[in-house]
Chain A
């Protein structure tokens, strides 16, 4: 069966409505908020600050530490048990790897920059929303960056390649492929790439081609949010 019309009526290359803000958490050195459809993420940056344990000190550069967490009431279905789990730890890891290439850590030897991502509500695409929020937060904290990092998922539902799957599409009965991607818009380098589902090489190529302009557009929304703060 082919997936001819999206559940929420969007075009195949269209994201859900996006809302982005900078400076939403007063205690933090930098913060960001990113909402895409029903998925929303807060991110706070603290640092650069003293790094513990000392065994992790690196005199050549600082450490970027990321922490992804879903609030207990954020998932559809059962309550999410508080505290880290295997899933959230892996997402924290890939989030760090997605952001590392743009962050200049050479200026902060022996120090740590901590990024905390919290999700009050999720409807698929939460790691991508987290990365977008974190990127805004890092820039808001005044950390030197080569560029923003924009992130969204692409994939395939039924036989259609499309952008930004929501939960109803991710769990579609015809089978779905979810490919979270993060990109440095200016160089088009990809910093996050995960995939689950079945897809041919050609379809993957099509999905990546389709997601690139979308990510550039998201980066513009992120920049706009940062400028908005200083208006």
Chain B
């Protein structure tokens, strides 16, 4: 990282000016496309500035975990495709990809968005497994928020496959949606210098001192959080960031 460049950015941010001319608390233009891939049981594509991500939901039948024999399973995966950014490397999922998948998973899981008891087919033997996979096409920052946004839309669009002789027939989807009752929205607020900003581009993300991802429900309840970045945060800063996240979550909620 270039120290002079960082100083320059910090100075500009303190005047509420960002590299691409946006305000500190301003998102790029977001467009949402639903059901973008025909073989997934539900899918969505979210484009935000130059960032573009597809999330797909695949349903499978499997055995429940022994400690929760009457509950279905949610699995969230994220892959940082080398296609989407020249800095991404091949091989097993990087720690960055794992964190993104786990934080998105937490927002959905801990809010009780999916009624996992309704995913039970036969207690102790067979349940629905919901696989949520995040695939960036072009990654220009903020994959956490965009993946979570596309994820919740894909889940809401998803339909159970029709059953044929006790087996799912993936070719024909039923009209039954997944048992989804809530809409958690994740917003990541990042701190660079003394400024707080949202929806960072990939270039801006390189200068982040600290960040806080907050998953917010419709009634402003917080359902998941994750602090990231190398620098510590004070209590005051945390609440400033939470407030900004709640404010922005209302804007994102309107898009769904």
List the interface of chain A (C-beta within 8 A of B): 24-28, 38, 40, 42-44, 46, 67, 69, 71-79, 82-83, 114, 116-118, 120-123
Contact = CB atoms under 8 A, between A and B. Distances in A.
A40 B137 CA distance: 13
Interface of B: 36-40, 43, 50, 54, 56-58, 60, 77, 79, 81-86, 90, 92-93, 131, 133, 135, 137-140, 170-171
Contact of B37 (A69, A73, A116): A73
A67 B84 CA distance: 13
A119 to B, nearest CB: 9
B217 to A, nearest CB: 26
A71 B137 CA distance: 11
Contact of A73 (B43, B83, B90): B43
Given A73-B56, A79-B131, A118-B137, A25 B39 contact: no
Contact of A44 (B39, B57, B83, B133): B83
A42 B83 contact: yes
A69 B84 CA distance: 13
B39 A72 contact: no
Nearest to A78: B60
A53 to B, nearest CB: 13
B131 A118 contact: no
B39 to A, nearest CB: 5
* B38, B56, B85 — most chain A CB neighbours (10 Å): B38
Nearest to A33: B137
Nearest to B97: A82
Nearest to B133: A72
Nearest to B92: A83
B38 A116 contact: no
A71 B50 CA distance: 20
B72 to A, nearest CB: 15
A69 B81 contact: yes
27 contacts: A24-B137, A24-B138, A25-B84, A26-B140, A27-B84, A27-B140, A28-B86, A43-B83, A44-B82, A71-B54, A72-B56, A72-B58, A72-B79, A72-B131, A73-B133, A74-B40, A76-B39, A76-B170, A76-B171, A78-B58, A79-B58, A82-B77, A82-B93, A116-B81, A118-B137, A120-B37, A121-B38
Contacts of B39: 38, 73-76, 121-123
The 3 closest A-B pairs by CB, nearest first: A73-B56, A116-B83, A73-B40
A43 B84 CA distance: 10
Contacts of A46: 82, 86
A43 B81 CA distance: 11
A40 B43 CA distance: 15
A10 B60 CA distance: 33
A71 B140 contact: no
Contacts of B138: 24-28
Nearest to A119: B37
Contact of B137 (A25, A72, A74): A25
A196 to B, nearest CB: 22
Contacts of B60: 78-79
Contacts of A27: 50, 84-86, 138-140
Contacts of A82: 77, 79, 93, 133
Contacts of A24: 137-138
B155 to A, nearest CB: 12
A26 B140 CA distance: 9
Contacts of A117: 83
* B56, B81, B83, B135 — most chain A CB neighbours (10 Å): B83
A120 B60 CA distance: 18
Contact of B135 (A44, A72, A78, A116): A72
B182 to A, nearest CB: 23
A118 B92 contact: no
Nearest to A116: B83
Contacts of A43: 83
Contacts of B36: 120
A73 B76 CA distance: 12
A117 B36 CA distance: 18
A207 B37 CA distance: 31
Given A71-B56, A72-B135, A73-B58, A118 B37 contact: no
A73 to B, nearest CB: 3
Nearest to A40: B37
Contacts of A83: 92
